[in-house]
Structure 1
Amino acid sequence: MAAQVEFPEIDIRQRLTVSKGYGVSEILVPDGSEFVGKTISDVDLSSKDLNVLTLNRGSKVIPNPRADRILEPGDKLLCFGKLESMRGMVPARAQRRRRPKVMDLPDTAVTNPDSDGHNGHD
């Protein structure tokens, strides 16, 4: 007789939000990334407190990919772990696109349209 496993009704979001600062995110391996040609174990995500849940390669989804799988350009790693670690893995180019760089204002004086030097409240 085959063993039966009962799966209780659970809220997956609740289970994946085990503690503050942890969650699930997708990490893209872009063309030219330092990860291309390396294995998942070479990238050493476990030291960053990250676990790879799935590897998306084109139309193929590889659940629980082996540590010796070599990463290719365009791979997407669905990871669970420290959100801060995952943010740090986003390429600088992508981060710059999301957050505009704050620039200093020029040192030129602001001119008042009132030419007589009054502020218009007299």
Structure 2
Amino acid sequence: AESKGRDIRAFVIGDRVVAAMRRTARGEEFRSNVHRGGTTEAVELDEEYQRVAVQSAQIMGLKVAGVDMLESDQGPMVMEVNSSPGLEGIEAASELDIAGAIIDYVANQVAFPELDVRQRLTVSTGYGVAELQIGDSSDLVGRTLATSRLRERDITVLTLTRGTRVVPNPKGSRELEAGDRMLCFGRLEAMRDLVPARRRRRARPVLEPLPPEAAEALATTHDEVVSPPPPTG
């Protein structure tokens, strides 16, 4: 009911949305597909819609996809992820050469094929890739990457994620905030030291010895309970 016969088609290539359009159904038809007579208009998606579209394509293992979403009060709701999206509607609405963008992407993949970064960066024993999150009480909060002394610990920050924004190869002047997530390469032991210690177990209660009077009374009661009754007749 919230969509009112409208949806969003986001066209994803690689790790970004290259174009998006809003489709509106015609008349009483609730389906907004272009081939069913739906009208289209180009739209600029905010970060949340772009993030959901890209993540949806990645979850399905697709490098090129058309992600259909409803505009709800709770944010984007994914309806469908198309592995072979049509180009006519999105190119007409956006006035962009989407087919050319796909060709450029494929050409770049041939020239620079994707690598398994974690595997390739494990070049020596004791080194690897890990994601570290900066906690509220971390001494890194308020420091810049240059003054964080991470490089002195043999740790290199590859990307920094803040909310939905990803900053690749962040500069030394970048100030760190609580909640930031850093994808790092370096000595595993040094990175492990930056992970907050797990919450300790709850302290066990201390059992104080009973006062002598209470201990004597308890012993007397115990003897009365466990002592066998005297034999009868």
TM range (shorter): 0.5 to 0.7
For residues 1-122 of structure 1, the aligned pairs below 5 Å read 6-7=111-112, 10-91=115-196, 95-97=197-199
Distance 1:32 1:9, change over 3 A: closer
Shift of 1:66: 0.5
Change (3 A) 1:24 1:100: farther
Check conservation: 2:118, 2:128, Cα contact below 8 A.
no
- Percent identity of paired positions between Structure 1 and Structure 2: 55
Task: Decide which moves more: 30-39 or 54-63.
Answer: 30-39
Kindly tell me: are residues 12 and 72 of structure 1, through their superposed partners in 2, closer, same or farther at Cα, counting changes over 3 Å? closer
Q: CA deviation at 1:11?
A: 4.2
Cα deviation for residue 35 of structure 1 reads 0.9
| Secondary structure class of the residue paired with 1:41 | coil
Residue 6 to residue 40, structure 1, CA distance change in 2 (3 Å): same
* RMSD, matched Cα: 2.4
TM-score w.r.t. length of structure 2:
0.37
Q: Which has the higher helix share?
A: 2
Which range is displaced more, 28-37 or 61-70? 28-37
Runs of 5+ unmatched residues, structure 1: 102-122
Structure 1 pair 10/85, CA: closer, same or farther in 2 (3 Å)?
same
User: What do residues 1-26 of structure 1 show as CA deviations (whole Å, max 9, x unaligned)?
Assistant: xxx89325654343111111110111
Which has the higher Rg, Structure 1 or Structure 2?
2
Provide structure 2 residue ranges, at least 5 long, that are not aligned to the other structure. Answer: 1-107, 203-233
The structure whose RCO (Cα within 8 Å, separation 6+) is larger is: 1
Alignment CA distance shift 1:73-1:81 (3 Å): same
Once superposed, which parts of structure 1, at least 4 consecutive aligned residues long, lie more than 2 Å away? 4-14
| Count of residues in correspondence between the two structures | 95
